[in-house]
Amino acid sequence: MKTRSLLTLVLAFAAAAAAGAADKIVAGPKGGRLLATEPHAAEFFVTAERKAEITFYDAAGQPVARGAQAVTVTAEPAGGRARVELVPTPHGFVSVAPLPEGGPYRVVVQVRATPEARLQNFRVDLNTEVCGGCDRAEYACTCEH
């Protein structure tokens, strides 16, 4: 009985911590959203051409070589989910084509540090409208809502 209540407490704490981390949006250097990937933080950024761009940074905030890191981006617009084709860049990846029109819709970003590493999942609500509060795109808005 004692063991079970302790486990419940631990699970509740873990869930709260995860929810808190998901709500907090960290600003990326390009104006995108910084994802808490390991070992290098990755910025999800939508370019002026509406292409999805992923850039990796070191602890000092400098772009870092992509290395063995792999990224999958899936767009989930109303018309159905679609994998976004990416090409490598020196410090990450960029989509071949613009992201699907419309929205807001969910974009799932999955990052692997190495082929053997665990999958790191992030969900971004893709809304590219500019927020009046912070002048950032809504998907990367850092306002306390």
Q: Which stretch binds Zn ion (CB under 5 A): 41-49, 75-83, 89-97, 130-138?
A: 130-138
Task: Using the structure block, give the residue that is written with the tokens 């990937």.
Answer: 37
Stretch that binds Zn ion, among 4-12, 17-25, 68-76, 123-131 (CB under 5 A): 123-131
Q: Does 70 bind Zn ion (CB under 5 A)?
A: no
Query: Toward Zn ion, which CB reaches closer, 117 or 134?
Result: 134
Among 70, 94, 117, 134, binds Zn ion (CB under 5 A): 134
Nearer to Zn ion, 22 or 82 (CB): 22
Of 113 and 141, the one with the shorter C-beta distance to Zn ion is 141
Residue type, 129: E
Q: Pick from 41, 54, 140, 141 the residue near Zn ion by CB under 5 A.
A: 141
Contact residue for Zn ion among 131, 137, 139, 140 (CB under 5 A): 131
Convert 31-52 to b/e letters by CB count within 10 Å (16 or more is b): ebbbbebeebbbbbbbeeeebb
Backbone angles phi, psi at 120, to 5 degrees: -110, 120
**Per CB under 5 A, does 27 bind Zn ion?**
no
Interface ranges with Zn ion (CB under 5 A): 131, 133-134, 141, 143
